[in-house]
Structure 1
Amino acid sequence: MATSEDLIASDEIQESEETLSDDLNCPLCMKIFRSPRRLPCLHSFCHDCLQSHIYKIASLKDSVKELCCPLCGHVAYIGELTAELTADKLVHLFPLNTLMLSVLMKSNDQAHFVCNACQVQDIVSPAENLCAVCEEALCVQCSKMHEILRLSTNHTILKIKDLPSKQETVLQDNEMFRCTEHGSLPVEYYCKDHEAQLCAKCFVDDHVSCPEVIKLANKTPNLSEALNQMKEQMKNLEDQLKQFADIKVLNLSQLESDVNSLTGKIRTLKKIINDALDDLEERVKEEVNNIFNDEKKKIEQTNQICQSHVTAIQNSNIVLESVSKYATQNQMFLLIKKITNQFVISKRHNDDRLSKNDIVTMQLEVNPQLNSVVNIPRGEIGTLKIKKRGESPVVPDRFKPLQQCIVERVNVKDIKGLKNKTPLVKYFTPCYTKVTFTSTEQLMLVDYENKILFLLDSLCNILCSHTFLYKPFDVCIIHGKGDENVVAVSVPDKNSVHLFSLEDNSITHLKSIQTKYKCFGIAAYNQKELIVSGPCNDRMAYYWSIITLDGKEKSYHEFDGAGTHQTYIALNAFKSRLYISAYAEGSLCCFGLNGTKHFTFRNQLLREPQGVSVDRDDNVYVVGYRSDNIF
């Protein structure tokens, strides 16, 4: 007989379950789940939300064959949308999450479901039952058909309203606990070696020899502690996500405040500029008006004087005309002399005025500095700085030339005895394509034209050499422990990299590694991996990839270019940036080791770049073959 304590505990469990069911929200619509459907990654979404997600993907792509989980990005194959196979039907490829439904039904027994089998046929029928194996809601008619079909005759059919009390049955038949290879068989084993869940058939066929296989029925450990740990970890992750979201909300608020502040500063700057321009306008107008008024007075005075002289001349003409009829010769002579004197004086003054040519004009010659202010580019008004904390330093999008670079040739040494060391080889003019130092300060030198790899001491005396059948191009040293060195040499014509060991001043061939395309540039990434680069054979592009010393390709990247000539490569000291000189492109490219292309550099003083190197201060040096310089 149940005690009062048992009844209280039962009520508390029921209350907690109902509270939990209220918190079961779809991650897309953020509302309580409606017909939750489960993806293979175990994330669940409302039926309608998942259907909308499929429609969204279909609108962005010409064809849809795969569905990415909106949360984790896990890819599930769904087939291709057609006129018959629409998103409405594709969504049924993902089963209902019956476990979640059983929890939801405890707090919402009024939930309504439609028959999924009828829905595929564009028929809406209320569902009363649910197949625990197929995890699909069924109407009465479809339930009867489901029970008589040979493939589903053994499936468990449950009443939807009974789901809350049938959780054990739901768990027993749930697809998550059945074998992924043999869907009708339950999972009975777990292989620790392969971290795989196995049915009896999987165990016998593929894992019977694995040493770490446990039979779940017999050796399943007590999981209460593991469950508590998982709950704690999930709670910590939930808290971290909430904290992160809160930080982003605060950041958004701060960003909004920054935008308002910036807008206010621009408005203030605009007012200052406008006030200055208004003041300038007033001062210019006042000055111009003053000049105009002064010149106006002068012109009016001059005009008045001219008019007076014109009047005097007219009067003299009238007098002469009138007197000439009655005056004697002596009187006319004297009158003409007097009038002539007046005329001479007037003409002299007029000639002086005409000679001065005091015509006044006004023109505004704008100060060039003012023009530069009016036409100033937006970027020169000021710098809009966007700072992001917690990120790696941003790689600049272009090179910054060294402010001072003093080059001094310290020493020059001749390499002697090359022909004596290779008497059986027809010796061509040397073409040295790479030199590098070993850990013991010896030098490795590649003669591309004569197909020779030289080992030199620090005084450039030849210690030994190795002759290739094909032309070698680049060499790098893979530093080991102590004085141990492995030498990697690229051979482009054979799409290969050759490995050598250096011991007792001798070069010993170890093995060769095949590359996908011609390999020119080569650099040691670490003691077990190389970075190789060259042109892609089948198209106009370059590539670079990371390969292991066993020949396995760990990553592969391509970038645009002529793709027909050699490349050189260099890593910076922190192994975070890769520099590739593209001979035919006349460019130097910078990449992150994750494949991100930071920038491409070109300069008219750097033509046909070849060898490239980086010092410990992250300064980059590249040889210009045609420009005869080191940039």
Structure 2
Amino acid sequence: MATQQAEAVTVNDITVCSICFEKFKIPRYLPCEHSFCHDCLSSYIVSQCKSKEPRLEFHCPVCRQYIPGDGVVNKPEDWVSLFPVNETLQTIVAQTSKNQCELCLKNNEKATTANYCWTCTMSLCELCTKWHLKFPALNDHKIAPFTEIDHTRSTPIFGVSNHCPKHQNEQVQLYCSQHEQPCCGLCGATEHKKCENVELITIAAQSLKVSGKFNSLIKEAKAFKEKLLLANSNLKNNISEIESQMDEKKSRFESEFRSMTQHLEKLKNDFLDEMSLTLKEGKEKLQGEIERMENGILCTNSCIHGLEMAMNAANETEMVVKLSTSADTFRKLKKSHLKETNMKYEMAKTVGFKQIPGMQRIAVVNLNESASLIEFEVEKISLSVFKQLTIEKGNISSGFVLSGGNFLAVNETEGTCLMYDEEWKCHSVINNLVAPQDITQNEEGIFVTIPVLNRIEVFSSRHFQHLRNIPMSDPRKITSFEGNVFVSSSRSIMNIDNTWTVKKIHATNSDISDISVTRKGLILLSLANGKIMAINSKGETAWEYKSSYLKEPRGLHVDSRDQIYVSGRESNNVHVLTNGGTLIRVIANIANPLFFKVNEMRGAICVGSGQKNIIFYKF
């Protein structure tokens, strides 16, 4: 750690570590000739490797040169011990801390150091330096003032150590061909005792020279380099692709938003016009009622006046006539059903309009990540179990590798979706489903088929929130490709496009056990009659595959190289096919596989063994 001492030292002080700015403590040097404290370099390596997968290298803190990690891939904390201690620099640090001439000290004298002899690895004062150079035998010694010593001169030439990697004090004497590892005699007598071909390092060197192994490895490395260059080019192209995709989506969204804004503006204007018309209609009705009420008032006044005149009539005849006329008019007025009208303005907002204030966002933006291994030869891979889980409650019906590498399993009986994270810990992420059957994912979200309810439920990929239901008759198996979702019922294949339109594209004569899609867009069907069928988007058959060694084919999976994996449930194996339907290999001894999902991001394979077990394999 840097302290206030850093203010007192210069950048060119070779006795100071450039990470902690303190005097070197066990300095170790890298192939680029820069030295650092043991603890400083260890902490730096670990911090640099923390976010990397796989952990293969780091860069020098000073010059940024690529430094390969020679230790165990997943243990960068152990790498620092494999770099040699800079004993020369360690000596200089020790001597400069004393600041005394080594020769004078041997004679019990004290003198301030001024120079350093590289040959003797000794600090000298000015006087001892003069006498040092006067002896003919010492004329060729390299002496330099301490102020002129730099890191390059203080670092030994970095070379391959002849010491045993496991026993630093032992010289390499043997070579184990079985493990392709040089070792010392102690390793040969212990760790490699039972190895068949352990020979002297000199004999092994001659054998390696004539074996052609160097040329073979160079050829293999160059071929791998070409794969890396291609992958690197694809990564750079991917940046342009996602930029183009985002520009396209932004443009489409802005167009849709403008259309929605224009539509909302039209709805607003129509609504305001409707309000004006409604107000006008209400005012006209009320005005008519006011006129009728005022006429009633006038009529009543007339009746009152007639009655008053009748009371004061000059003779009885006039009195009776006026009374009768006024009373008759008043009776008619009362029977005319005059009413007091009251109007109130009401507005019933539509459901869609009410939901707008509650919107938290217009859309959920996700970056779906997938990965493919640079070196993945399915013909050569061997599997080893590293984790096995038993589902105590319910039955597993299917599984799916999500973008990002997490694995999702569908528990049909319990109505849940179980997610296994990067540490293979289980989380229940979707609950309260009714007998879910299968699952897939695309940019719209996660799709779960619910046959008993005749619908597909859609959830967000990030937080697993329910988004919508898609009604469909008997949806069972499901897969997706470039925005389209393909769903199987008992004997037919349906397509759901990005407008949620459902259409039938193919019918079969046999029940469908599973479906998938290749990267070329071929729809794969696993049929109950034992066939694997590939059809195009028009429903035309591209190829079929059937084997006597494949019994009860169930789950289908397509990896990043468009290789197809067919789970043979009764034959206890998995058939690997090309995208043209040609057999590549049969992976045997996979017990009762319901599905076989290759998780390239994690270097693992997830297998549903029966309906109770999920087995995770490393490859």
**TM-score, with structure 2 as normaliser:** 0.41
Higher helix share: 1
Higher relative contact order (CA 8 A, sep 6+): 2
TM-score w.r.t. length of structure 1: 0.40
Say which one has the larger Rg: 1
